Amino acid sequence: YSDPFTLRLIGSVMKGRAPSLLDLDDRPAGYEDVGRLCTWDNLFPERILPRSQYERVLIRAISGDKLHMDGEWYTPTGMRGWSRVIFRRKADNSRHIFSLDYLLDHLRDWEHPRRATRRGNGGRARSREQSA
């Protein structure tokens, strides 16, 4: 805990309205080495960070990976806003728009297309739109 003056000073430094001791020309010699012993590169390498299911859906869509769903092949062609993916169905070249939430139910099919099986959406109502 700190006194109100010190808290205001810290807030001003963090917001850039007041200089910190690192900004001053006349500062202790030890300040010259601040942070040099730290390694800042790759604190969290991408390969070890787990991806959320939403991230995995978006990565598949942006990569253009084909999705085998309900016996049909779909190719992602774009996004509609932040929450829906536009697909072309291979069989008839029709356009389909699926919400990210709907696609979560089919993520396994997308990641492992050879194990794709015909299955529903588990009885849950998901946003699924179709337009020609």
Residue 5 domain-assigned (yes or no): no
Domain carrying residue 70: 51-131
Question: Looking at residue 132, what is its pLDDT?
Answer: 46
Q: How many structural domains does the chain have? A: 1
12 is a domain residue:
no
Residue 130: its pLDDT value, please? 55
In a domain, 1, yes or no: no
Residue with tokens 């993916």: 85
Phi-psi region of 51 (alpha: psi -120 to 50; beta: other; left: phi over 0): beta
- Specify the DSSP element, H or E, that contains 42: none
Q: Does residue 36 lie in a domain region?
A: no
Surface-to-core class of residue 103, CB atoms within 10 Å of its CB (0-12 exposed, 13-18 middle, 19+ buried):
buried
Q: What's the pLDDT at 5?
A: 92
Rounded CA-CA distance 121/132 in Å is: 23
Provide the whole-model pTM.
0.54
Q: With a cut of 50, which residues of the chain have pLDDT below it?
A: 116-127, 132
The predicted pLDDT at position 64 comes to 95
Q: Does a structural domain hold residue 122?
A: yes
Q: Is residue 34 part of a domain?
A: no
Number of CB atoms found within 10 A of residue 5's CB: 8
Is 15 domain-assigned?
Answer: no
Which contacts (CB < 8 Å, 24+ apart) does range 91-95 have? 94/130, 94/132, 95/130, 95/131, 95/132
| Domain-embedded: residue 38 | no
27-43 in b/e burial notation, b at 16+ Cβ within 10 A? eeeeeeeeeeeeeeeee
